[in-house]
Structure 1
Amino acid sequence: MTALDWVVLLATLCSIVGFGLYKGRGSRTVSQYLLANRTMPWYAMGLSIMATQASAVTFISTTGQAYADGMRFVQFYFGLPIAMTILCATAVPLFHRAGVYTAYEYLERRFDAKTRALASVVFLIQRGLGVGIALYAPAIVLSIILGWDDRITTLLIGGLVIVYTATGGIPAVTWTDVLQMGIIFCGLILAFIMVIHNLPSNVSFIDAVYLAGAAGRLNAVVTRFDLNDRYTLWSGLLGGTFLALAYFGCDQSQVQRYLTGKSIAQSRLGLLFNAMLKVPIQFFILFVGAMVFVFYLFTPPPLLFQPKALEAAKQSAAWPDVQTTFDTAAAARTGAAYAFIDARHKNDARALADARGRLETAQQQLNAARGQGIAAYLSRSKEKAFNDTNYVFLTFVTHHLPAGVIGLVIAVIFSAAMSSSSGEINSLATVTVIDIYKRHIRGGASDRHYLLVSRIATVFWGLYAVAFAQYARTLGSLIEAMNMIGSLFYGTLLGVFTLAVFVKRANGTGAFFGMLAGEAAILSAARFTGISFLWYNVIGAAVVIAIGSLISFMGLQNIDLQRKGDER
């Protein structure tokens, strides 16, 4: 990075932290600190919800996902607009009228304390795991640019987040998210422009789109029904809807955003704002990754995108032959790409089909050479598997963008990491204080006491995130890892809230044991089947509803029989 890049990056980070401290300066009560006194406008809520989702994982890993596997990951979000519409009609008015701090507080009012406690613990486990992954993503940035140890970088970013989140609470988090989303939008558009600008002068944008399609990178919709395929139209519409319902309706990191709204109408507008923009934004991010793939058709990519792995693999005796094979395949792929463009311009169907076949063959040869390179690295490493998807976009940014632009794009990644981490840490602290500490450890204390405990809990979860982030390096594609972790728990939460809202005769005992059965079913599906993780949410919710309803019905039947016996 040049001096200009450092100026852009540091100025952005300082602005974010300073703005967060400024906006959070009035948080002197628990209501202000955790819910902003329910005064947030719809646009601030909407952007904050979006920022909490748009972690650094989104930009680092999603672009790499498109590079490696095409755009079919976008189907993951197809159920989101459906879920948002349902939640606007159900969860938003329900939580607002209940006047709760957390979603799980409502469960005690509807069921009992043990159901609330179990739901709170489930949330703390899954969100506690996810926050570490979100915080680890920017560590990849500095490990590439500076060669810093990722433990230092996670501590640095975690420390910045803790400062303004612990000081200002939800007002600082929300308004900082608004600023960060503006930075993110600008950086995304600029990165896309630079990808297209860096293509060879005789390759147009339309040529790039056709090439991406020929290489299988524009496969945005997959219509076949396959339970073992993670990303299809059906897993997105069905499994994605269930996941989005659970995430936005049961996850405190999202519920807390629309609980800060001035009114039910304002909260609904915030959710609908996300419903309209989320899929197009994810499509755009994936499209950037597809264009990066096209760029590397004409500029030879590194054999391995992970710099340290590449250097280690070069020490292998077989490396010279592997590199030669890779270079030959890359050159063949470039020739096939130019032939494809020429055939398209001449509208020569036979030549076009031939060029497409050459492109596919060259890509297979390139993949085979990469496989040999990975094997060379693993033979000298203690790791059992290797995945450098998370390094693809960053390699392009740091090697092919001009000074200043690199700093801005990296600032975008840091902004995303900070916004998602701050929101998650804040929600973890809220559940810890309201659902655990105040309810089961020390009730009836002063507001000042709970405010202090909230700040302490925020610091604790921030430090926890920094510690857990050290394990994220072993999880492969971070965007998949984050969503898979969520899917292990969201179905259970969705099921118990469905019981609470729609099954009027459900009771606390049924809900509690239904949650245990649902979680057992999800973990069994993950352990013993190859079913895509998106279906875990459907399985978990269905089991919770079925078992919870059955146990509740049996309990009511026993009560009725006892009453009849007493009457006799």
Structure 2
Amino acid sequence: MADFGALNWSILGVFIIANLTFGFVLGRRVKSANDFFLGDRSIPWWAIGISVVSTYVSALTFLGGPAWAYTDGMSVMAIHLNYPLVIFVVTSFFLPFFYNSGVASIYEYQERRFGPTSRSVISGIFLMTQGLTSAAVLYATSLVLEFITGLSVEYCIVIITVVAVIYTSMGGIAAVIWTDVVQAGILFTGAAIILFALVREMPIPIAQALAEIKADGRADALDFSFDFTKVTTVWSGVIAMTLFHITVYGANQMMVQRTLAAKTIGDAKKSFMMMGFGAFFIYFLFILLGVLFYSYYGGREFENGNTIILQFATDYGLPGLMGLIAAAVLAASMSSLDSAFNSMSTVSTVDFYQRYFRPQASGEDLLKVSRYFTLFWAAMIIMPALMFAESEGSVLETLSKLGSYFVGAKLSMFALGFFSRHTTERGLLVGVAVGFVALWCVATRTDIAWPWYCAIGGAVNMSVSFLASLLLDGRQKEYSPYTVVGQRKVFRDSGRPEKEQGWFVVPGRIDRASYFLLGFFAVSVLFLYLFNRLL
């Protein structure tokens, strides 16, 4: 874009320099691999919580959310209703296992529960899926730079990768979290300005626009039909996507790792609850933007729907707005990319390098290797990012669809680990293999919508794993210490209290604050019902 202007370039330049400065300053405090992975456990819970929120929102939501809602309306909101339910499960079951163990990689749990092969399998699945996710984020961000500078997507992909990897490799998890805090502020400031400008510039009164949106059927977020071929129904959101997002937050190194840097388990849980309560408002904002853009532009088709929000910022013409929007989208993407690089480096170092090649490696050696792996994964995601450049649909939907192929395996591996007495490693691996085959058949030979892939894959995995374990290894006499039942026995036998500073440490116990998540879920469903009825 030739008229990007000095003011916009200055805003964007200050943002990039600030991120690099953060990495340099915080990098001086990183002396060991443990500092790189977990920091010094002095980061406040609210900062970790903001980091959790901004990491998952990313540029995929900033660009892809409005693009998806532009075509499908408020129904997209149905598959984002589940976050309170998700965080309720994650804080009650997943987080205590990981926080109590003191691990850097959450996949070490799989080895303790089943064995080294299952740990390697799930670590490999994470690296593959996170690589694809990061590539989609990288591509979405590159669209912004291409749109505003005229540089090709290929050049933009390389530029963004270099900036993100520099401050991440220097500062580790502390740099990830604190830069995420700043980036979140920029992201939501940009979104708020766009919403205000859009409402102000609507060619008709906002009440009339919403009434027309309702008349077109685009204001109804609650589709209660039992059509398994439709993506955005209440049932796919509350059942299928709840399972999907449980794996995103509970079985995903990128999301969990930052909470392991909290001072106490209470702080770790509170940081996750910020997403449980905040996700509804965030997604409602971006999806509402999409349906309002549909009214503003009269439903016209865009060559690439992911640029709608950028086109509006250009048309609006407020001085400095394009610079702020560019910084906001970069902020959204950087918050995801830095987390991905750090978590992928952690898993590669702990689950593979240290586990199989250098078990006695020093902290300094592991720190060096971690930084090498950060550079390695940054380079590796460039190729799939270029492949995403061929996609013209919503990158948010594309990413969700890709991730759905793998979450069933992760869900079953942890669910069986937590609750099953008889599942063994050999049976588990058979179930994972059969589950992938079954899911491939569903995806290629039926019209079942992708949100259900997690539920289907998980059900097949768990059923086959349980039966195969009984056939191969027989019934087990006792629960493993790493099951929910086993953990309660460990706490009883050791005399360790189940609570610390008012929060349950033992898995499977429900904190009082968690019940508010269930209440909030009910209120959010009621709000969406009334939103459509009262327009």
Query: Smaller-chain TM-score range?
Result: 0.7 to 0.9
- The residue aligned with 1:64 is 67
Q: Deviations over 1:103-132 (max 9, x none)?
A: 211100011001101111111111111111
2: CA distance, partners of 1:61 / 1:79: 19
How far the C-alpha of 1:541 sits from its partner, in A, is: 1.3
2: CA distance, partners of 1:456 / 1:399: 43
Cα distance, 1:230–1:304 mapped onto 2, change above 3 Å: closer
Query: 2:425 matched to 1:497?
Result: no
Q: Given the alignment, which residue of 302, 305, 309 partners 2:302?
A: 305
Q: Given the alignment, which residue of 78, 90, 93 partners 2:81?
A: 78
Q: Given the alignment, which residue of 3, 21, 42 partners 2:6?
A: 3
- The residue aligned with 2:526 is none
Secondary structure of the 1:445 match is coil
- The residue aligned with 2:345 is 429
The question of whether the paired residues in 2 share the 8 Å contact of 1:111 and 1:508 is answered with yes
Query: 2:229 matched to 1:232?
Result: no
1: CA distance, partners of 2:265 / 2:57: 24
Q: Flag the structure with larger Rg.
A: 1
How far the C-alpha of 1:304 sits from its partner, in A, is: 5.2
How far the C-alpha of 1:243 sits from its partner, in A, is: 0.6
The question of whether the paired residues in 1 share the 8 Å contact of 2:86 and 2:245 is answered with yes
**Amino acid corresponding to residue 283 of structure 1 in structure 2:** F
The question of whether the paired residues in 2 share the 8 Å contact of 1:102 and 1:255 is answered with no
Mapping 1:67-466, distance limit 5 Å: 67-200=70-203, 203-297=204-298, 305-306=302-303, 388-466=304-382
How far the C-alpha of 1:558 sits from its partner, in A, is: 8.1
Q: Given the alignment, which residue of 377, 389, 401 partners 1:484?
A: 401
2: CA distance, partners of 1:390 / 1:60: 5
Secondary structure of the 2:381 match is helix
- The residue aligned with 2:426 is 509
How far the C-alpha of 1:505 sits from its partner, in A, is: 2.2
How far the C-alpha of 1:75 sits from its partner, in A, is: 1.3
How far the C-alpha of 1:59 sits from its partner, in A, is: 0.9
Q: Which moved more, 1:418-427 or 1:391-400?
A: 391-400
The question of whether the paired residues in 2 share the 8 Å contact of 1:496 and 1:514 is answered with no
2: CA distance, partners of 1:8 / 1:280: 27
Query: 2:474 matched to 1:557?
Result: yes
Q: Deviations over 1:183-220 (max 9, x none)?
A: 111111111001112123xx322222222222333232
Identity fraction in percent: 32
How far the C-alpha of 1:39 sits from its partner, in A, is: 3.1
How far the C-alpha of 1:526 sits from its partner, in A, is: 1.4
Secondary structure of the 1:15 match is helix
The question of whether the paired residues in 1 share the 8 Å contact of 2:23 and 2:166 is answered with no
Q: Deviations over 1:495-526 (max 9, x none)?
A: 01001010022211112222222222222221
How far the C-alpha of 1:250 sits from its partner, in A, is: 0.7
The question of whether the paired residues in 2 share the 8 Å contact of 1:20 and 1:175 is answered with no
**Amino acid corresponding to residue 171 of structure 2 in structure 1:** G
How far the C-alpha of 1:305 sits from its partner, in A, is: 2.8
The question of whether the paired residues in 2 share the 8 Å contact of 1:44 and 1:174 is answered with yes
Cα distance, 1:208–1:13 mapped onto 2, change above 3 Å: farther
2: CA distance, partners of 1:282 / 1:10: 28
How far the C-alpha of 1:148 sits from its partner, in A, is: 1.1
**Amino acid corresponding to residue 400 of structure 1 in structure 2:** Y
The question of whether the paired residues in 1 share the 8 Å contact of 2:69 and 2:287 is answered with yes
**Amino acid corresponding to residue 493 of structure 1 in structure 2:** K
How far the C-alpha of 1:231 sits from its partner, in A, is: 0.8
1: CA distance, partners of 2:213 / 2:465: 48
Over aligned residues, Cα RMSD in angstroms?
1.6
Cα distance, 1:559–1:419 mapped onto 2, change above 3 Å: closer
The question of whether the paired residues in 1 share the 8 Å contact of 2:422 and 2:475 is answered with no
1: CA distance, partners of 2:217 / 2:21: 44
Q: Deviations over 1:60-112 (max 9, x none)?
A: 11111111221211111122211110111111111111111112111000110
The question of whether the paired residues in 1 share the 8 Å contact of 2:76 and 2:232 is answered with yes
Structure 1 gaps, min length 5: 307-387, 561-568
2: CA distance, partners of 1:138 / 1:40: 28
**Amino acid corresponding to residue 210 of structure 2 in structure 1:** V
1: CA distance, partners of 2:476 / 2:78: 47
- The residue aligned with 2:524 is none
Structure 2 gaps, min length 5: 478-535
**Amino acid corresponding to residue 349 of structure 2 in structure 1:** V
- The residue aligned with 1:310 is none
1: CA distance, partners of 2:456 / 2:379: 34
Aligned positions, number: 473
The question of whether the paired residues in 1 share the 8 Å contact of 2:249 and 2:255 is answered with yes
Mapping 1:521-540, distance limit 5 Å: 521-540=438-457
**Amino acid corresponding to residue 28 of structure 1 in structure 2:** K
Q: Deviations over 1:3-41 (max 9, x none)?
A: 222222222222233223323331111111011133332
Cα distance, 1:60–1:266 mapped onto 2, change above 3 Å: same
Q: Deviations over 1:334-364 (max 9, x none)?
A: xxxxxxxxxxxxxxxxxxxxxxxxxxxxxxx
**Amino acid corresponding to residue 524 of structure 1 in structure 2:** C
2: CA distance, partners of 1:557 / 1:494: 23
The question of whether the paired residues in 1 share the 8 Å contact of 2:442 and 2:448 is answered with yes
Mapping 1:9-20, distance limit 5 Å: 9-20=12-23
Secondary structure of the 1:222 match is coil
The question of whether the paired residues in 1 share the 8 Å contact of 2:422 and 2:476 is answered with no
**Amino acid corresponding to residue 173 of structure 1 in structure 2:** V
Cα distance, 1:66–1:97 mapped onto 2, change above 3 Å: same
How far the C-alpha of 1:405 sits from its partner, in A, is: 1.4
1: CA distance, partners of 2:428 / 2:258: 26
Q: Given the alignment, which residue of 446, 456, 470 partners 2:386?
A: 470
2: CA distance, partners of 1:487 / 1:31: 32
The question of whether the paired residues in 2 share the 8 Å contact of 1:225 and 1:234 is answered with yes
- The residue aligned with 1:369 is none
Secondary structure of the 1:71 match is helix
- The residue aligned with 2:489 is none
How far the C-alpha of 1:559 sits from its partner, in A, is: 8.8
